[in-house]
Amino acid sequence: MFGWLTEQELNRWLILECRLNERIGCKVKGGIMADSLHEIMVQADQKIVFDAWTTAEGLSSWWTSDSRVAGTERGANVFVFDGGKVEFHFRVDEQVPNTLVRWTGVPAEKMPEEWVGTLIEVDIDSDNGMARLRFGHKNWQSIDGAYCLCNTTWGELMYRLRDYCEGRSRGPLFAG
């Protein structure tokens, strides 16, 4: 499953993660709840990083070219992939200007089932004149399926986001 971990190490890690999730009050379905976590420093103002997450222009500059932003809390942002065959729908749960973005994956016709109920959390703060972005795609019900590929993809997306915010845009990773 994971070439860098033995089966015993993986099991130990999963048990520890489940215990931690239970300790902090997370409900664990099927014995596992996985989170994809990333942190990156961005040489830009927090507002620029926040806008990259909350505007169609920002999101379509580093994630997918077809990004539809609700613009209001409780509305749904829609991100289109693979020529319209796949659409990620995320309800905007909370947006605190320049510091916080929280979304929840919601059911929709072209929304992958394993993304429904997952949480996107973006925390932005300042450290020595740079923006620190802490990203989490949380509440995955399994590490099987798309989880590992998505975790790797989010890692690449963090660098594209950073480059966009620092004025060196490489364009979106996906063309809607």
Q: Give pLDDT tens digits for 25-42.
A: 444 445 567 999 999 999
pLDDT computed for residue 55 by the predictor = 97
pLDDT computed for residue 73 by the predictor = 86
Helix axes 147-165, 46-54, angle to 10 degrees: 130
The answer to whether the CB of 145 falls within 8 A of the CB of 130 is: no
CA distances to 75, 129, 155 from 173, in Å:
24, 28, 12
- Relative to beta strand 76-81, strand 130-140 is unpaired
Residues forming a β-bridge with 105: 90
Phi, psi of 20 (to 5 degrees): -65, -45
Q: Which residue has the tokens 């798309």?
A: 146
pLDDT computed for residue 30 by the predictor = 54
Residues 6+ apart with CB under 8 A from 138: 33, 35, 36, 118, 119, 120, 121
Percent with pLDDT over 90 in the chain: 77
How do the domains of the chain map onto residue ranges?
1-32, 37-165
Collapsing DSSP states into helix, strand and coil, what is residue 165? Answer: helix
pLDDT computed for residue 31 by the predictor = 55
Planar angle of CA 57, 110, 135, nearest 5 degrees: 50
pLDDT computed for residue 144 by the predictor = 86
Per-residue pLDDT for 159 more than 70?
Answer: yes
Residues forming a β-bridge with 91: 76, 104
Element (H, E) at 56: helix 56-62
Topology annotation, domain 37-165: Alpha-D-Glucose-1,6-Bisphosphate; Chain A, domain 4 (3.30.530)
Report the alpha-carbon distance of residue 112 to residue 139 in Å, rounded: 14
Give per-residue pLDDT as tens, 63-88: 999 999 997 889 999 999 999 999 99
Report the alpha-carbon distance of residue 81 to residue 175 in Å, rounded: 7
Give per-residue pLDDT as tens, 118-156: 999 999 999 999 999 999 999 999 888 899 999 999 999
